[in-house]
Amino acid sequence: MTRRLAVVTAGLSDPSSTRLLADLLAKAGRDALAERSEEAEVEVIELRPLAHALADRLLTGFATGDLAVAEKTVARADAVIAVTPVFSASYSGLFKTFFDVLEPGSLDGTPVIVAATAGTARHSLVLEHALRPLFAHLHAVVAPTAVFAASEDWGAAGADGALVRRVERAAGELAALVASRPTGERPDQFDRDLASMGDFEQLLRRP
């Protein structure tokens, strides 16, 4: 059974270290699933080209085009890898906006790796102070290992392989979470509303 792995990356430059980290995690995630004999289909969502659509989405209340596709991709994913640059002591506004506009329940129970990049390792606790609570609020299941990459991790200081080991550990945790979850299509918001509604006699009697 093929598992869907959605990678959300909020880097703004090209190439961006955020995208680099996202790609490392995606590859590690695919490998970790393969070790469990699970095939993975990776879909990468770059938020930069969706920036205007996200602003429109806030104003109109609905998504169109590529943004609608991206929202569906995340909502039906078996696992999500979410990577943001650190801006002003937190995730970037673009990153947050994407998760703000997702249909409620889109990440309910979804295994997620949270990851972030910054110029210095001094920002690394953003993962625990900002990203983990955000995904807890969204009812995602966040892997215990969060992954942070500072500028030095891409250079000589990273040569000891600490970042790679961290990436692999997070990917292993993600694969274990995915393997324990059922496969198949997930109901969307409308289906869930419908399922919880009951018939009209029940609605009439509801206290």
Tell me which residues touch other proteins (CB under 8 A): 55-56, 59-62, 64-65, 190, 193-194, 197, 199-200, 203-204, 206-207
Residues 169, 145, 186, 63, CA torsion sign: negative
Nearer to other proteins, 54 or 175 (CB): 54
User: Minimal distance in Å, beta carbon 131 to other proteins?
Assistant: 28
C-alpha distance from residue 154 to each of 66, 67, 145, 197 (Å) = 31, 31, 19, 51
Residue 76 phi, psi dihedral angles, 5° rounding: -100, 5
The C-alpha angle 86, 145, 28, rounded to 5 degrees, equals 90
Q: Which is nearer to other proteins, 65 or 109 (CB)?
A: 65
Q: What share of the chain is helix, strand, coil (3-state, %, to 5)?
A: 55, 20, 30
| Closest distance to other proteins from the beta carbon of 190 (Å) | 6
- The CB-of-66 to other proteins minimum distance in angstroms stands at 12
Please tell me the distance from the alpha carbon of residue 97 to that of residue 39, in angstroms, as a whole number.
Answer: 31
Minimum CB–partner distance for residue 196 and other proteins (Å): 10
Phi, psi for residue 156 in degrees, rounded to 5:
-60, -35
Comparing CB distances to other proteins, the nearer of 57 and 123 is 57
Nearer to other proteins, 1 or 204 (CB): 204
Q: Which is nearer to other proteins, 15 or 207 (CB)?
A: 207
Alpha-carbon distance of 143 to 125, in angstroms, equals 15
All residues at 6 or more sequence positions from 138 whose CB lies less than 8 Å from its CB, including other chains: 99, 102, 106, 107, 108
CB of 87 to other proteins, least distance (A): 24
Nearest one of 104, 107, 83, 103 to 94, comparing CA atoms: 83
Which is nearer to other proteins, 34 or 194 (by Cβ)?
194
Residue 139 CB, shortest distance to other proteins, in Å, is 20
